A and B are shown apart, each in its own frame.
Chain A
Amino acid sequence: MHPAPSVIIFTSLSGLGFGLLFWLGLGQPAPTGWVGFGFFFIAYALAVGGLMASAFHLGHPERALKAFTQWRSSWLSREAVAAVATLVTMGIYAALLVFAGIHVAPLGWIGAVGCLATVLTTSMIYAQMKTVPRWRHWSTPALFLALSLGGGALLSNNGWAALVLLTVAAVLQLVAWFTGDTRLARSGTDIGTATGLGGRGAVRQFEPPHTGTNYLLREFVHVVGRRHAQSLRVISFGLAFVLPVLVLALGLTHVTAAIAVLSHLAGVFALRWLFFAQAEHVVGFYYDKR
């Protein structure tokens, strides 16, 4: 799949933003005054900034309101509804806390559940795709949730929770990689079933249907060199998980916390790039490409 910057930025930033809002909703911490304003400002900047980036991905952003209508069937529509409902709920909770010093805990809990729902719906957009066997696995939503909550814990200064959740996320990431690498081959779809000619012999492309490129090739066929991908995996794993966990284990100061957060963020960006770039869409079989 084409690793579109807008979608990478969107899933990474709003994942972190909703993760931070989750912990704020639980009241861990429940900051008031200027400190509270700072926390919520960062959370909203990440969550809303990410959503804005995703709007750039649309051909017709001016019709975006229509995307709230089909929540009965569409995960993307559910995500839109969940995101806005959560942001409104948490906005009221934050305003009461920051400006009036009133902590309405149940409202925060509802918001926290909304954060989980938003991240889950985002991940299900990918996990539902039968056409991308690498994504169609429980590890996709599990990893999105663990990364979001772990990153949020890091940002909200919940050291222990961050340590545990980032470790869990690291394990889930390894599961996603090791099982994902062979999932296309195990899916049963190949150029033979794509053309229906597999029973007659070995099928290969003789001539493509068009000489130039097209939407399908640009959007769905993205080939990353194996060696390149492996080294990027090592780097992103180190940045997203290993370094922050080490810092957390050694104890947080202002400076080390900043290093952990920046390292984690850079790592998540790289992980998301790989998430898209390494995902193989079955339409590639029609072009004899992976």
Chain B
Amino acid sequence: MTSLPSHTDKKLGLVIDLDTCVGCHACVIACKGWNTENYGAPLADTDAYGAKPEGSFLNRVHSYEVQPETGAAQLVHFPKSCLHCDDAPCVTVCPTGASYKRVEDGIVLVNETDCIGCGLCAWACPYGAREMDPVEQVMKKCTLCVDRIYNENIPEVDRQPACVRTCPAGARHFGDLADPNSAVSQLVAERGGMDLMPEQGTKPVNKYLPPRPKDEVPEFDVLGPYLEPVAETGTGFVAWLDKTLSALPGGAK
């Protein structure tokens, strides 16, 4: 129901590494593919081959430029899907009970047969993690691939979210963030995993690993002394040849 559980046994979620994400959008496509063919209404597109194509997605990759006070700007690719918040405002605003957070694993889901498509949950989500399907007119959001992670009909290696499974850079990790010994919790502890918009009080389960500092390039160069610039003004035959060729029509001045 639309009241939040006071406690969830597990906190399944994603850890997204902003240092290793290369911005290839493979997770966007894997997510769209899996969630169009499986759980719930397919993720529709409108005007797919026309002038104004658009569609519903559960995961999108933004790209930002960060300019520090000194030094070079840094480019950060930024995948964003539902953060399965502990204090999910999208759940409590829902008038029908269609939006709910599961007690057993903390996954936030929409029961599409109860959804009236009012859109209020998308208003309440600070992260833009919910999109109304343009054809079915029900609210779509990341399911944490609930139909993969527990699915005994697929090989064990595939029992993780489609986006995690597909990421060629290994930038997305899936696990239980309530268990301090899980690989994801260790990663968060080690790399200083952070919350997005902590001031919104949503207590996101998903964490983001900040980009690591860039290596400093050493100032000196061991080959330097052997690579002194060639004399600017030559003498003798080479200088004469250079001058003559330059004087030809179309020659370098």
Which A residues are within 8 Å of any B CB, using their own CB?
1, 57-61, 63-64, 66-70, 72-77, 80, 125, 128-132, 187-189, 191, 193-197, 200-210, 212-216, 219-220, 281-283, 286-287
Is chain B's interface secondary structure helix, strand, loop, or mixed overall?
Answer: loop
A76 in contact with B137 given A196-B195, A206-B63 (CB within 8 Å):
no
Q: Is the CB of A194 within 8 A of B197?
A: yes
Residues of A contacting B136 in the complex (Cβ-Cβ under 8 angstroms): 59
Tell me if B196 counts as interface (CB < 8 A to partner A).
yes
Pick the residue among B93, B114, B120, B199 that contacts A188 (CB under 8 A): B199
Q: Is the CB of A57 within 8 A of B208?
A: no
Residues of B contacting A196 in the complex (Cβ-Cβ under 8 angstroms): 194-196, 208, 210
| B contacts with A, residue count (CB < 8 A) | 66
Q: How many A-B residue pairs have CB under 8 A?
A: 191
A282 in contact with B200 given A74-B95, A209-B60 (CB within 8 Å):
yes
CA distance A208 to B23 in the complex (A): 11
Q: B176-222: which have CB < 8 Å to A?
A: 194-201, 208, 210-211
Q: Is the CB of A215 within 8 A of B56?
A: yes
Tell me if B89 counts as interface (CB < 8 A to partner A).
yes
Binds A, one of B71-79, B152-160, B243-251: B71-79
Q: Is the CB of B126 within 8 A of A58?
A: no
Tell me if B253 counts as interface (CB < 8 A to partner A).
no
Contact with A along B100-130 (1 / 0, CB 8 A): 0000000000000011111110111111100
Residues of A contacting B95 in the complex (Cβ-Cβ under 8 angstroms): 66-70, 74, 76-77, 80
Residues of A contacting B78 in the complex (Cβ-Cβ under 8 angstroms): 195
Minimum distance in angstroms from A106 CB to a CB of chain B: 30
Q: Is the CB of B65 within 8 A of A73?
A: no
A215 in contact with B131 given A69-B96, A74-B93, A205-B64 (CB within 8 Å):
yes
Residues of A contacting B120 in the complex (Cβ-Cβ under 8 angstroms): 74, 76, 125
Tell me if B236 counts as interface (CB < 8 A to partner A).
no
CA distance A220 to B69 in the complex (A): 32
Residues of B contacting A204 in the complex (Cβ-Cβ under 8 angstroms): 64-65, 67
Q: Is the CB of B199 within 8 A of A215?
A: no
